[in-house]
Structure 1
Amino acid sequence: MTSIPKVRLSKLVNSLKSVSSRYLLKKYDAQVRRQLWGGHFWFSSYVARSCIGAPLTVVRQYIENQQRPV
């Protein structure tokens, strides 16, 4: 039996972005502010993908090979 999520994915992602950006700006303000894209820590969009059954090494390699903003 599967359970129905109580939080929408978009709300969860928004919360994670908000909390993490506040934390990182508070802890590393001087270093981080120089790297911001137009004054924003995160892009407004997100992608959610399923990786059920994929080994952690494959998931990690996928994440590490994402393009970095220039």
Structure 2
Amino acid sequence: MHYPPKVTVSKLVNSLKGASARRIRQKFTGQTNRAIMHGHLWSPSYFSASCGGAPLAIVRQYIEEQKRPL
């Protein structure tokens, strides 16, 4: 993902989560139960990482070689 360097990661993630939640609620109106989710679709936390411009094939290989929980 590319974004302007002046945009903080937290603001970017907040914007993406807000926009995606609105679109999901619009698409699945009546199928999501806000009472169960306490009005929130996403967790307030997030994870962000950088791969320093590594080729996608290398990043994919790294992810695939990670140990998986039992």
Whether the 8 Å contact between 1:25 and 1:33 is mirrored in structure 2 is: no
Shift of 1:27: 1.1
The alpha-carbon distance between structure 1 residues 40 and 30, as it changes in their structure 2 partners (threshold 3 A), is: same
Equivalenced residue count is 58
Shift of 1:43: 0.9
Q: Which residue of 2 aligns with 1:42?
A: 42
Q: Which residue of 1 aligns with 2:12?
A: 12
Distance, in Å, in 2 between the alignment partners of 1:55 and 1:35 is 38
What's the Cα RMSD here?
3.1
Distance, in Å, in 2 between the alignment partners of 1:20 and 1:35 is 19
Matches within 5 A, 1:1-70: 5-33=5-33, 36-51=36-51, 52=54, 53-55=58-60, 58=63
Larger radius of gyration: 2
Long gaps (5+) in structure 2:
none
1:8-57 CA distance string (max 9 Å, x none): 0000000001101111111102112269522210111111123543127x
Distance, in Å, in 2 between the alignment partners of 1:13 and 1:35 is 24
